[in-house]
């Protein structure tokens, strides 16, 4: 039964205590710090089921990173890049330029063809530190909303009344408590993606890797879920890849353009103010044009 779960839903393929070749959250590490990720959307007080707090999430440092798939062309060559501690960093670029590959390298699941160094600022291995949110929600259709949020905990044999209380608190924060015992088939696309976000946050990881998590949603739902995510991951180190300049400008403390082969990253674009920014802000509208110019110009400033 467990094998079938892994085949259907690779998001939790590494949720047990085995070394995994998949880029998803969950290698158990009792020494890993836990960030203060779970801020309530309605300013309610935190419950006892909330996560333990750490002073800061780690930064991620890539030094002289090179990578090529077996028999393929070089994706990265001597790439140097820093994901700042406790901030939301966005990477935008054309399809196939290496954005998702970079996430997998940081998660530690791409090894063959890799050289260089990827390290976390606290000196702890990537194992147990990263979680992953994908474009598709990958909810298991036979599990309720609550059980989907608790899936990683269940697979690792860590389920308890306290864990379930924490999951329920997250679901309440997402505005889905009325669907606690519902199956995914009755949920809209935006609701399903909210469940996927809560499942990611339930993993209590210090570094969150996001691969176009909101791209399949309609415009209004996407804006609402961006607001929810920005509120709930405060204090974590987030790296998100996206094709949407406005999304990057709304959510990113810093934004990098990835182009070329081997891929390179531009100098960061730093939007004013704190995320989530209003999409109609004149400064954001102006920067959107600049960001598009960078994309068309190969990332040059």
pLDDT 10s digits, 44-82: 333 333 333 345 889 999 999 999 998 888 999 999 999
Does 89 have pLDDT greater than 70? yes
Q: How many CB atoms lie within 10 A of CB 18?
A: 10
Residue 81 DSSP class? E
Q: Environment class of residue 209 by beta-carbon count within 10 Å: exposed (0-12), middle (13-18) or buried (19+)?
A: buried
Q: Which of 226, 297, 301 is nearest to 269 (CA)?
A: 301
Distance CA 256, CA 291 (A): 9
Reported as a single tens digit per residue, the pLDDT across 127-159 is 567 898 988 899 999 999 999 999 999 998 999
pLDDT of residue 23: 35
pLDDT of residue 300: 61
Residue 111 DSSP class? -
Range in 16-20, 138-142, 273-277 the model is least confident about? 16-20
Q: Pairing between strand 88-92 and 207-211?
A: unpaired
The structure's pTM equals 0.78
**Tally of residues, the chain:** 301
User: How would you list the strands of the sheet with 74-83, edge to edge?
Assistant: 74-83, 60-68, 114-120
pLDDT of residue 32: 32
Averaged confidence pLDDT in the chain: 80
CA 177 to mean position of chain CA atoms = 23
Q: What H or E segment, with its residue span, contains residue 89?
A: strand 88-92
Q: Which long-range contacts (CB under 8 A, 24 or more apart) does 9-17 make?
A: 9/138, 9/139, 9/140, 9/151, 10/138, 11/132, 11/134, 11/138, 11/199, 12/151, 12/152, 12/155, 14/109, 15/151, 15/152, 15/155, 15/156, 16/155, 16/156, 17/156
Pick 143 or 16 by higher pLDDT: 143
pLDDT category at 16 given cuts 50, 70, 90 is very low
Kindly report the backbone phi and psi dihedral angles of residue 254, in degrees, each rounded to the nearest multiple of 5, phi listed first: -145, 150
What is the residue whose two structure tokens read 């901030």? 87
């Amino acid at each position: 039964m467990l094998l079938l779960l892994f085949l259907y839903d690779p998001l939790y393929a590494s949720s047990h205590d085995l070394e995994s070749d998949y880029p998803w959250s969950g290698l158990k590490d009792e020494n890993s710090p836990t960030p203060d990720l779970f801020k309530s959307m309605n300013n309610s007080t935190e419950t006892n089921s909330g996560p333990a707090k750490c002073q800061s999430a780690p930064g991620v440092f890539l030094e002289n990173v090179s990578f090529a798939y077996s028999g393929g062309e070089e994706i990265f060559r001597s790439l140097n890049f820093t994901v700042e501690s406790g901030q939301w960093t966005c990477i935008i670029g054309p399809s196939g330029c290496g954005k998702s590959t970079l996430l997998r390298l940081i998660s530690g699941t791409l090894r063959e063809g890799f050289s260089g160094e990827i390290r976390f600022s606290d000196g702890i291995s990537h194992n147990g530190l990263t979680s992953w949110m994908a474009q598709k929600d990958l909810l298991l259709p036979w599990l309720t909303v609550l059980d989907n949020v608790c899936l990683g905990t269940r697979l690792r044999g860590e389920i308890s009344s306290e864990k379930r209380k924490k999951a329920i608190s997250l679901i309440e924060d997402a505005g889905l408590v009325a669907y606690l015992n519902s199956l995914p088939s009755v949920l809209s696309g935006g609701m399903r993606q909210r469940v996927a976000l809560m499942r990611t946050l339930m993993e209590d990881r210090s570094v969150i890797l996001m691969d176009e998590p909101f791209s399949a949603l309609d415009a209004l739902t996407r804006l609402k879920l961006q607001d929810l995510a920005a509120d709930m991951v405060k204090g974590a180190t987030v790296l998100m890849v996206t094709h949407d300049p406005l999304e990057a400008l709304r959510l990113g403390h810093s934004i990098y353009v990835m182009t070329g082969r081997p891929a390179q990253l531009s100098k960061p674009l730093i939007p004013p103010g704190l995320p989530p920014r209003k999409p109609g802000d004149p400064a954001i509208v102006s920067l959107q044009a600049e960001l598009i110019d960078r994309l068309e110009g190969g990332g040059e400033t």
